[in-house]
Amino acid sequence: MDTARLLPLVVAAPLLGAAVLAATGRWLPRLASDLLGCAFAAATAASALLVLFRAGHPGPGAYPVEWVGGWRPVGGSGVGIVLVGDPLGAGLAALVSLLVVAVLLYSWRYFDEPPRHHTGSFPALILVFQAGMCGFAITGDLFNAFVFFELMGVAAYALTGFRVEEPKPLQGALAFGVVNSLGAYATLLGITLLYARTGELGLAQIGRKLDTAGPDGLVLAAFVLVTTGLLVKAAAVPFHFWLPDAHAVAPTPVCMLLSGVMVELGVYGVARVYWTVFAGPGGLAHPAFTRALLVLGVLTALLGAAMCWQQRHLKRLLAFSTVSHTGLFLIGVAVLTPEGVSGTALYVLGHAGVKAALFACTGVLLDRYATVDEHELFGRARGLPVVGALFAVGGLALCGLPPFGSGLGKAVTEEAAGHTAGWLPALYVLVSAVTGGAVLRAGLRIFAGAGRRPRDQEGEPETTGEEVPETGQRLGRIPAPLVAVPAALLTASLAIGAIPAVASAVGRAGALFTDTGGYRRTVLDGRAAATPALPPPHWQTTGVLLGLLSTGLAIALAALAVRHPARTGRPALLAPVRRLQSGHIGDYVAWLAAGTALLTVLTVPGIR
Amino acid sequence: MTVLPYLVAGWIFLIGVYGLVTSRNLIHAVGCLAVTQSSTYVLLLAVGYRNGGTAPVFSDAPTDSRVVDPVVQALALTDIVVGATVTALLLALVLQLRKRHGTVDPDALSELKG
Amino acid sequence: MTDVLIVVALLLVAGAATAAVLNRDPVRQALVLSFLGLALALLFTFLQAPDVALSQLAVGSAVTPLMILLTVRKVRRRSGNDHGADEPAGRER
Amino acid sequence: MSFRFRLWVFLVGAAGFAVLFAVACFGLPAFGSGHHPYGVRAVRASLNHHTANVIASVNFDLRAFDTLGEETILFAAVLGAVVLLRQTQDERRKTPEPAVVHPRVRRFALLTLPLALLVGLYVIAHGQISPGGGFQGGVVTATALHLLYVASDYRALERVRPLTVYEIGEAAGEAAYVVTGFAAVLAGSAFLANVLPFGTLATLSSGGTVPLLNAAIGLEVASGVVVLLARFLDQAVEIEEPGEDEESGDPREIEKPRESQGPGKPRESEEPRGCGRPKESEGPEASGASRDDDNRDDKRE
């Protein structure tokens, strides 16, 4: 069978699993429903990997392309929906699927008490979430992308609010739902504008039609509106406010998926839409795109890092570190080079493993001590050396320590970004050091009881970390999956950076991804895109040194903070920034509107 | 007339967002979100309309009669279902929030700050 | 003639949407939303989209307002009680 | 943020959006004059597959994959609502009190009920040849069932609404759609390909797999909406939190304005609801079917 035939199955298989679980879950014992969920997720991962393997090996046609329902285009115009298994898209689908398998294994012993009579509902929702994310990664149709965008949204809102007994998850899920839905509607308005102009819905078709005329206000509006929704998902400043609220309160296994891959899919969407639709002469000029994403990326990275440092709620701290890293990913996309894209892809791969592992460790703390508050946990987890070690390794990997995948990604991306603006590598080092340092600081305090006990500060609004365990009662003994899964994730992240074959495959993926004409020809004409010959991304001396520098800085920051909690805790300068994160849905929506205006202002020169 | 339907869609979107920003009741906010979404239906169908076109449903033999664009109608259908389900889910969240927080006033939700 | 009908329906929709937002009471808003659903269905009929009109009628003017009303009822049922019951269940703040 | 500041942030954003969108509007083809290459191709493709309703063809044939995603959104939302609106440990159920209903209301509702059900099923069945289809028909069918609530009371509705069946029906609809897609793959074609004979245009069996997928959606939507509304009704009528007072369990108090719009529903003289239907309450399903819902048995004293 043609490998391309497997593409729709990457979406359909988890859906079938979800339907089976929803129907039979009530009669299945917990173990059976978990096994079933894992089996379907693993089958999906296998087919995604098969597609990826096929896409990674040049043959007739550079990568698998499948028209659902067999509606192949005639003369470059079709009526169907196309799924494209280019290495980057298929790779993301594989990453999503593998992470879902890890998450399902992790939650094996996690929720002690699933909702009665609905045992299968948690794995079923996770499978639907997986289908949405995989579909979004491999679709080559703009409206279809919107459908999957909404699908992953709906599944994610429900999963975020899963623990209805608690007030915080509900509030976080609501902000998440409202802001993301609004972003999605903006995207749909943009899609409609593009349809009115071109009369097409496929990415490749729209791009071709747009290039028959020059850019104008309509194209600009379409770009801004479509990108708004994707940037909301990517949590770029000022669309980011929902993310910490949602990620801090969702059940830990869900956090692993939200921070590990869902947010990154927003970045992927921005890059995908730009490269396939707007990168031609009829789209948005390259300098305008670079400027807009660079501004948003830098703001996001700095604000995320500043907020991350000030958190004492561990999951919130990790959530802000995700915001900050998303900023770095956006910069990697903004520079518009194949190196930038492949570096970012490596960074995302490495980051997914590391961030998921860190959340997994935090989940252990939550279920053991009923809190994820850095101050309250001070020195209490001395008895968990293995978890502590994993947490520390995760913190170091987050700083970009060679040879972790996150380190390689950071090195390659900052090298690529350095060609656009010389100061960008410094930003990468600074942001990695601050976010990694915050994680290390928390790790030192919690697992080693290092330094002095931090005191609570008065007068400032903040989210403390008292929570109710997600397991039925507090854990006495730590079940094996809760430790094995983060260990495996960190190992995978290490492997991504250490095995050169991965890097060269990602390098090829980045080159194919940025070949606008090649994508359109492969999709519409069935002609193979020539694989561009580029040196594969690899470790360079500067990258290694900068990685070591950011790691060293992070350790120094952490040590300083542990030693002098009062002076390094919370600069008064940043108090107004803190207050912006108000938890108020109206505020977040207002910022979304303002962000759309900002994006417009930044991109206006691109149509002249 | 040539741009009125488009402008109406834009107006509905903006007024819905205004409602979300100024809302003092989360149920009302969810209603405003539904309003915002109806702008997308209006824009979709306005884009697909053709002067003098009929509905793209044929009774028997295919004729040469001019029909409006069926694709946007299919998209709008999808959109409507999406909107209703999102509304349902958000209302469920508000309902539980009311139980756990004792309020549906966004100004009074104070658990997540900073 | 069709154009006039479309313009009227458009203005009706714009007015209903505005009213739905400005009615701050959820119950009244649900009723206006129901009316907005009807107006949209009318507009879609004039725009030659009977399929969409039908689903808008079923979803927009029946199911969505109904869900809002049920939510309001649940919410109101609590606030109608004595003040003590209005506090969050079993939780100190 | 203060209300003032928030409003200013919004106004700045809204101004930007308004300018952007207005510029775009004037760049669009004038209303009613655009060219629609995709639309034209879709009409041709639909007629080639003998599907009279082009929208059904787009939804269930050309862009059937979109509809799979859309169906799944509903599926996920229902699953999510079931999870979010579950009865938590600290809540209990109370038996809804028999309500009073005017005989004319009951007669009206009982007459409309079969009619509405029939219309719903008709709309589902004719999806490929006339306006309507699985979605519209599904919603109508689901809403029609709730006329029983208007005609009698919540317990009567619960008896005809064994939720387990509907929850399975929903999952079955979702699975049927995916399995139809897989069947095409097994037949050697692409996923969701229309591999069945197309039949004669404008007959019930025309369109190949379109009626099948349409029926799957109909099943899913009808069951899904029933489950969804049931969850909200449960919360509104039955589930009680600690500290919540006993009160009358009839949400129609706030629905009055809606009802008063309809003709033939005066409420002057009322009789106790439920009295008119003693047969039902003694039927076999009264003990069995209504008990499938979450742990009703252990919560009801």
d(CA A122, CA A118): 8
CATH number of the domain located at residue range(s) B4-51+66-104 in this protein: 1.10.287.3510
Count of CB atoms situated within 10 Å of the CB of D299: 16
The answer to whether A8 contacts D192, with C-beta atoms less than 8 Å apart, is yes
d(CA D137, CA A276): 38
Report DSSP state, residue A337: S
Asked if A553 and A406 sit in the same domain, the reply is yes
| D17 contact B CB<8A | yes
d(CA A568, CA A347): 29
The answer to whether A584 contacts B107, with C-beta atoms less than 8 Å apart, is yes
- Mean pLDDT, to the nearest integer, of D30-42? 89
- Mean pLDDT, to the nearest integer, of A437-451? 92
d(CA A37, CA A130): 11
Whether A82 shows a pLDDT value over 50: the answer reads: yes
| 8 Å CB contact between D217 and D67 | yes
Q: Which of A65-79, A587-601, C29-43 has the lowest mean pLDDT?
A: A65-79
| 8 Å CB contact between C36 and C16 | yes
Give the distance from residue B86's alpha carbon to the nearest chain C alpha carbon, in angstroms. 10
Q: Could you read off the pLDDT of D56-91 as tens digits, one per residue? A: 999 999 999 999 999 999 999 999 998 898 877 777
Give the residue extent of every domain in chain B: 4-51+66-104
Which of A 571-600 lie inside 8 A of D, CB atoms? 579-580, 582, 584, 586-587, 589-598, 600
Query: Residue A82 is inside which H or E element, if any?
Result: strand A82-84
Q: Which of A222-226, A248-252, A543-547, B62-66 has the lowest mean pLDDT?
A: B62-66
Distances (CA, A) of A206 to A14, A191, A193, A200, A579: 30, 10, 11, 6, 42
- Residue D261's pLDDT is what? 36
Q: Residue A423, exposed/middle/buried by CB under 10 A (0-12, 13-18, 19+)?
A: exposed
Substitution target from D129, D217, D245 for chain C, most C beta carbons within 10 A: D245
- Mean pLDDT, to the nearest integer, of A32-47? 92
SS3 state of residue A139: strand
- The answer to whether the bond into B70 is cis (omega within 30° of 0) is no
Residue B3's nearest CA partner among B49, B53, B34 is B49
pLDDT confidence bin for D283, thresholds 50/70/90: very low
- Residue A61's pLDDT is what? 54
Inter-axis angle of helices C2-22 and B4-22, nearest 10? 10
Residue D53's nearest CA partner among D138, D130, D136 is D130
**Per-residue three-class SS string for D241-275:** CCCCCCCCCCCHHHHHHHHHHCCCCCCCCCEECCC
| Structural domain count of chain A | 2
d(CA A104, CA A257): 11
Q: Which chains touch C (3 or more CB pairs under 8 A)?
A: B, D
Of A201, A583, A590, the CB nearest to B111: A583
Residue D110's nearest CA partner among D138, D145, D143 is D145
Backbone angles phi, psi at A74, to 5 degrees: -115, 120
Count of CB atoms situated within 10 Å of the CB of A538: 13
Report DSSP state, residue A7: H
- Residue D109's pLDDT is what? 82
Give the residue extent of every domain in chain D: 52-299
d(CA D219, CA D170): 7
Residue A193's nearest CA partner among B9, B80, C39 is B9
pLDDT confidence bin for B63, thresholds 50/70/90: low
Distances (CA, A) of C55 to A201, C45, C50: 23, 11, 9
The answer to whether B20 contacts A589, with C-beta atoms less than 8 Å apart, is yes
Q: Could you read off the pLDDT of C73-90 as tens digits, one per residue? A: 888 866 544 333 333 333
- Mean pLDDT, to the nearest integer, of B38-56? 92
Q: Could you read off the pLDDT of D84-105 as tens digits, one per residue? A: 988 777 777 777 766 677 888 8
- Residue C17's pLDDT is what? 96
Report DSSP state, residue B57: B
d(CA C59, CA A260): 36
Which of B 34-93 lie inside 8 A of C, CB atoms? 34-35, 38-39, 41-42, 45-46, 48-49, 53-57, 67-68, 73, 76-77, 80-81, 83-84, 87-88, 91
The residues, ordered by sequence, that sit 6+ positions from C63 with a Cβ below 8 Å of its Cβ are B84, D139, D143, D225, D229
Q: Which of A90-104, A485-499, B64-78 has the lowest mean pLDDT?
A: B64-78
Structure tokens at B13: 């979107």
Asked if A269 and A321 sit in the same domain, the reply is no
| 8 Å CB contact between A565 and A451 | yes
Structure tokens at A504: 């060269």
- Mean pLDDT, to the nearest integer, of A268-273? 96
pLDDT confidence bin for A352, thresholds 50/70/90: very high
The residues, ordered by sequence, that sit 6+ positions from A313 with a Cβ below 8 Å of its Cβ are A248, A372, A373, A374, A462, A463, A464, A465
- Mean pLDDT, to the nearest integer, of A486-495? 96
For chain B, report the end-to-end CA distance as a whole number of angstroms: 48
- Mean pLDDT, to the nearest integer, of A229-239? 94
- Residue A460's pLDDT is what? 56
- Residue A572's pLDDT is what? 75
Asked if A299 and A434 sit in the same domain, the reply is yes
* Mean pLDDT, chain B, integer: 89
Whether A547 shows a pLDDT value over 70: the answer reads: yes
Structure tokens at C69: 């009303």
Query: Residue A65 is inside which H or E element, if any?
Result: strand A65-67
Render the burial of D146-175: b for 16+ CB within 10 Å, e for the rest: bbbbbbbbbbbbbbebbbbebbbbbbbbbb
- Residue A59's pLDDT is what? 53
Whether A465 shows a pLDDT value over 90: the answer reads: no
Q: Which of A8-22, D22-36, D151-165 has the lowest mean pLDDT?
A: D151-165
pLDDT confidence bin for A75, thresholds 50/70/90: confident
Inter-axis angle of helices B70-101 and D134-145, nearest 10? 40
Whether D11 shows a pLDDT value over 90: the answer reads: yes
- Mean pLDDT, to the nearest integer, of B25-37? 95
The answer to whether A585 contacts B86, with C-beta atoms less than 8 Å apart, is no
Evaluate whether residue A90 is within a structural domain: no
AA letter at A524: L
Q: Give the residue ranges of chain C where pLDDT is below 70.
A: 77-93
| 8 Å CB contact between C13 and C40 | yes
SS3 state of residue D9: helix
Q: Which residues of C touch D (CB under 8 A)?
A: 27, 31, 34, 50-51, 53-55, 58-59, 62-63, 65-67, 69-74, 76-78, 80-82, 84-85, 87, 89-90
* Mean pLDDT, chain A, integer: 90
Asked if A562 and A580 sit in the same domain, the reply is no
Asked if A549 and A595 sit in the same domain, the reply is no
Whether D271 shows a pLDDT value over 50: the answer reads: no
Backbone angles phi, psi at A469, to 5 degrees: -55, 150
Q: Residue D85, exposed/middle/buried by CB under 10 A (0-12, 13-18, 19+)?
A: buried
Whether A142 shows a pLDDT value over 90: the answer reads: yes
Give the residue extent of every domain in chain C: 2-78
How many helices (H) and strands (E) are present in chain B, helices listed first? 3, 0
Evaluate whether residue A442 is within a structural domain: yes
Evaluate whether residue A10 is within a structural domain: no
Distances (CA, A) of C73 to A263, C69, D233, D241, D252: 36, 6, 10, 14, 9
A370 — alpha (psi -120 to 50), left (phi > 0) or beta?
A: left
Helices (H), C23-63: 26-46, 50-55
Evaluate whether residue A145 is within a structural domain: no
Give the distance from residue A197's alpha carbon to the nearest chain B alpha carbon, in angstroms. 9
- Residue A264's pLDDT is what? 96
ipTM of the complex: 0.93
Residues of A with Cβ-Cβ distance to B93 under 8 angstroms: 157, 161, 170, 173-174, 177
- Residue D80's pLDDT is what? 93
Domain that holds residue A599: 168-284+574-608
Backbone angles phi, psi at D4, to 5 degrees: -55, -55
d(CA A581, CA A576): 9
* Mean pLDDT, chain D, integer: 78
Whether D214 shows a pLDDT value over 80: the answer reads: yes
SS3 state of residue A581: coil
| 8 Å CB contact between A284 and A274 | yes
Q: What percent of chain B has pLDDT over 70?
A: 94
Substitution target from C21, C45, C73 for chain D, most D beta carbons within 10 A: C73
pLDDT confidence bin for D295, thresholds 50/70/90: very low
Q: Which residue of D has its CA nearest to A17?
A: D175
For chain C, report the end-to-end CA distance as a whole number of angstroms: 62
Whether A566 shows a pLDDT value over 90: the answer reads: no
d(CA B37, CA D204): 34
Asked if A263 and A383 sit in the same domain, the reply is no
